[in-house]
Amino acid sequence: MEAFGLLLHGFAVLLTWKTLVLMMVGLVLGIFVGVLPGLGGPNGVAILLPLTFTMDPTSAIVMLSCIYWGALFGGAITSILFNIPGEAWSVATTFDGYPMAQQGRAAEALTAAFTSSFIGSLVAVLLITFLAPMISSFALKFGPPEFFAVYLLTFCSFVGLGREAKHKTVISMSLGLLLAGIGMDTVSGNLRMTFGSPELLRGINFLVAVIGLFGISEILLTMEERLALRGHAASISLRVVLGVWKDLPKYWATLLRSSFIGCWLGITPGGAIAASFMGYNLAKRFAKDPESFGKGRIEGVFAPETAAHASGTSALLPMLALGIPGSGTAAILLGGLMVWGLNPGPLLFVEHKDFVWGLIASMYLGNVVGLVLVLTTVPIFASILRVPFAAVAPMIVVSCAIGAYAIQNAMFDIWLMLGFGIVGYVFKKIGIPLAPFTLALVLGNRAEDAFRLSMIGSGGDLKVFWSNGLVGSITTLAIMLLFWPMIDGLLTRLGRRQRS
Amino acid sequence: MNALWPKQSMSQTELEIVVDDPTAPEDDSPSVVSSGTIEIVVCLLLLALAVTLGYDNWRTGASWDSTGPEPGYFPFYLSVILGGGSLYGLIVALLARHAASGTFVTRAQARRVMAVFVPTLLFCLVMQFLGLYVASFLLISGFMRFVGKIALWKSLLTALVFTAIMFVTFDVAFDVIMPKGPLEAAFGR
């Protein structure tokens, strides 16, 4: 039980006043971000990242990850009380959460949501605690070809498994990889794609792009909607909380199933959104009376919330163990690691024990504290929605600008942010997914380095990606995933033609 | 009543939160441009970008030399993939042109989006000359007053308080220094 000892060490790192205060600040900011329209997990983390630039990496990651937990909790509040999902992954929570609120059972629904979030995260954190060190020690044996194969698998699974039109995922990903290559080439030192512009010499900073893509574009998109809202304000009493908790064992199958789905989709790039819908649909399918779903059934809150949080949390597993983020937010945290001077990858577990175990310990503590915090402060956070959006919108714009400028102290980045804001707005409206773009932008240079180092090692022979069983099977799997939809589509089309 | 969202009440019971949006975009507003058209434009732009970047990488060197792939090798093939993807997208969008394509943005929506985009653009411009804090004060107070039609004193106060909090948080507490334009000397930092 080496992990257990290290985890205790992590708690020791965590239990200082400064870290605990940062944790609380992070959670409150996170819930705030989750509740407000036009802000969400990824952009909240991206905008607040500059706050952490002068901190030591452990405090920084504790605060940022707490913002993330807070945002996950906050998303449920608006879904249940106002029927407005603060986040895409809380859409499924509205199906039964809002009807419950209409029936005057808002407190019950909120307690169910927060509790199941907590359970989902807890399962995922347990998984991270015991699995991540194993994976990372296994990955220490990886050379450049293995790493490139894993990157390839990540990229290909986005294309093959994504629900968007395939060519749009390909466009989004290749654009991200290309933009990542702008600036000085890390291997040869040559300049690439800078067209003589000194501003482009630095390259396009990943975080600036994210702030524009998610922050600015989200404001533009939010403005298009009708912003009127009508909902219930609820306060949660201890009696309701205990009542819901007493019934928890009845729903063990739903909770377990959703946790499993969430963890699986979080580690693979399926994401929290898919997980929440899948959790909901499966709970409905396994229920004896599926028609009662959508009319205010508490299981309809348990299922998607557990899955979304298990997924959101376990997305950090591949990030910690391999340096490959499982979600957009994890990608931003990865960007943070680089800013703080850490090198993401399996060596993190060896070289930065304090950091890794401090983070894992903060996941446990952050979720407990977060649960207590949301249960006691729901009315305050719900009333944030009374603040007119006309005041919130410019404040978000200012926060985005501060975030974008602070990363490299460059005025040019403000314009880049605005440009990416427009790109994000247009892409979202015509269905080009942003997650592969984000992932490609943060992983681009590492993937290219791995590729080139493999090529240099093998003397330019592509067979290096099949040189042993491990790398060979990862590469083959990646290519199969990439081409599967095409083959599948061709077969169906042929079949249809034959029939007609 | 032409206020943009400040109208709110705690009507009926104490347990209800109601926020109105009287200037919400009407549902029957005419379409400005269809999604299909935008898709064609985006694919053309991406194609142009792919050609430009592809050419630049080919110029840098996209083949193999004695040490391995040249600097332009990896991005060159990515440009090819991007070009292929956008060309495919262009053809799909052109073929679907005659089919009913969804609305990209209605006139009412465009008006609201512009109401936030134009001030943001001006904010970025003003920030270059007057620094972040002056620009943010102007943006928040101006947006609340003119777009949100919120009382002048409320707008000014909110802008002042928010800007002050940002200054204390970033410049003082966390040592993240922002550009201050002509105010630089006044703050002495």
Its sign, for the CA torsion A94, A97, A102, A107, is negative
Give the residue among A22, A117, A120, A125 at the shortest CA–CA distance from A75. Answer: A117
- How far is CA A162 from each of CA A40, A179, B136, rounded to the nearest angstrom? 21, 22, 39
Cβ of residue A98 closer than 8 Å to a chain B Cβ: no
The H or E element spanning position B19 is: strand B16-19
Contact call for A232 and B174, based on CB within 8 A: no
> Does residue B20 register a pLDDT over 80?
no
Rounded to two decimals, the ipTM of the complex is 0.87
- In this prediction, residue A1 carries a pLDDT of 58
B130 interfacial to chain A (CB closer than 8 Å): no
Average pLDDT over residues B21-36: 79
Mutate to test the interface with A, among B45, B56, B116 (most CBs of A within 10 A): B116
Q: Does residue B78 belong to the interface with chain A, where contact is any CB pair within 8 Å?
A: yes
Answer whether A175 sits within 8 Å of B53, measured CB to CB.
no
Contact A402 B132 (CB under 8 A): yes
The SS3 call for residue B20 is coil
* Residue B7 pLDDT grade (very low, low, confident, very high; cuts 50, 70, 90): very low
**Quick check: B103 contacting A, CB < 8 Å?**
no
Instruction: Give the residue from A36, A41, A32 showing the smallest Cα distance to A389.
Output: A36
Is A171–B86 a contact, with Cβ atoms under 8 angstroms apart? yes
pLDDT confidence bin for B3, thresholds 50/70/90:
very low
Whether the CB-CB separation of A359 and A333 falls below 8 Å is answered with no
Q: Give the Cα separation of B113 and A9 in Å (integer).
A: 50
Contact of B58 with chain A, judged by CB distance below 8 Å, is answered with: no
**Residues of chain A with C-beta less than 8 angstroms from the C-beta of B88:** 167
Contact A395 B162 (CB under 8 A): yes
Asked if residue B44 has pLDDT above 90, the reply is yes
Which residue type occupies A131?
Answer: L
- B19 forms beta bridges with A229, B8
CA dist A364 and A384 (Å) reads 27
Six-digit token string for A138: 């296994």
pLDDT at A195: 82
Closest CA to B178 of A405, A173, A465, A211: A405
For residue B57, give how far its alpha carbon lies from the nearest alpha carbon of chain A (Å). Answer: 7
Residues of B in contact with A167 (CB under 8 A): 85, 88-89, 92
Which residues make Cβ contacts (< 8 Å) with residue A64, sequence separation at least 6? A26, A45, A48, A49, A52, A333, A336
Model pLDDT, residue A363? 87
Question: Within 10 A of B64 (CB to CB), how many other CB atoms are there?
Answer: 13
B86 contacts chain A (CB < 8 A)? yes
Q: Nearest CA to CA, how far is B85 from chain A (Å)?
A: 5
CA-CA-CA-CA dihedral for B139, B140, B142, B146, to nearest 10: 130
Residues 227-256 of A with CB under 8 A from B: 227-234
- Cβ within 8 Å, pair A229-B127: no
Widest Cα–Cα separation across chain A: 72
What sign does the dihedral A336-A341-A347-A349 (CA atoms) show? Answer: negative
pLDDT score, position A86: 66
**Contact check, Cβ <8 Å, B81/A170:** yes
Task: Enter the pTM of the model.
Answer: 0.85
Residues A211, A457: Cα–Cα separation, whole Å = 38
- Joined together, the tokens standing for residue B72 give 């332009």
CA A213 to chain centre: 15
Q: Which residues contact A16 (CB under 8 A, 6 or more apart)?
A: none
Cα dihedral: A333, A334, A335, A341 (round 10): 110
| A67: Cα separation from own chain's centroid | 12
Closest CA to A58 of A119, A102, A9, A127: A9
Vertex A131, ends A126 and A134: CA angle to 5°?
Answer: 150
Any residues with CB less than 8 A from the CB of B43 and at least 6 apart, and which? B86, B87, B89, B90, B93
C-beta of residue A69 within 8 angstroms of C-beta of residue A44: no
Task: Choose among B5, B53, B67: nearest Cβ to A388.
Answer: B5
Distance from CA of A371 to the nearest CA of B (A): 23
Cα atoms in the 13 Å half-sphere on the side-chain side of B144: 25
Nearest Cα to Cα of residue A259 among A120, A153, A129: A120
CB-based contact A384:A35 (threshold 8 Å) = yes
What is the structure's pLDDT at A269? 65
A293: closest CA of chain B, how far (Å): 25
Q: Does B72 touch chain A (CB under 8 A)?
A: yes
Q: Distance (Å, rounded) from C-alpha A234 to C-alpha A106?
A: 6
Does residue A72 contact residue A312 with C-beta atoms inside 8 Å? yes
Residue B99's pLDDT band (boundaries 50, 70, 90)? low
| Contacts across the A-B interface (CB distance below 8 Å) | 226
Asked if B53 is an interface residue toward chain A (Cβ–Cβ < 8 A), one would say yes
| Two tokens, residue A476 | 């083959």
**Per-10-residue mean pLDDT, chain A, length 500:** 77 82 89 77 78 82 87 83 77 88 87 90 90 86 87 83 82 91 80 81 85 86 77 78 86 90 80 82 85 86 90 87 80 83 83 86 88 86 80 88 87 93 92 86 86 83 84 87 76 78
The residue of B74, B106, B130 whose CB has the most chain A CBs within 10 angstroms, and thus the best one to mutate to test that interface, is B74
Please report residues of A whose CB lies closer than 8 A to that of B6. Answer: 388, 390
What would you measure as the largest C-alpha separation in chain B, in angstroms?
79
Residue B1's pLDDT is: 37
Distance from CA of B184 to the nearest CA of A (A): 15
Query: What percent of chain B clears pLDDT 90, i.e. is strictly above it?
Result: 34
Question: What confidence category does residue B134 fall into, taking pLDDT thresholds of 50, 70 and 90?
Answer: very high
Q: Do B75 and A181 touch (CB under 8 A)?
A: yes
> Average pLDDT, whole number, for chain B?
82
Contact residues, B window 153-172, toward A, CB-based 8 Å cutoff: 158, 162-163, 166, 169-170
Give the three-state DSSP class for B189. Answer: coil
From residue A308, how far is each of A90, A109, A250 by CA, in Å?
8, 16, 20
Which are the contacts of A464, defined by CB distance < 8 A and separation ≥ 6? A145, A454, A455, A457, A458, A471
pLDDT recorded at residue B124? 94
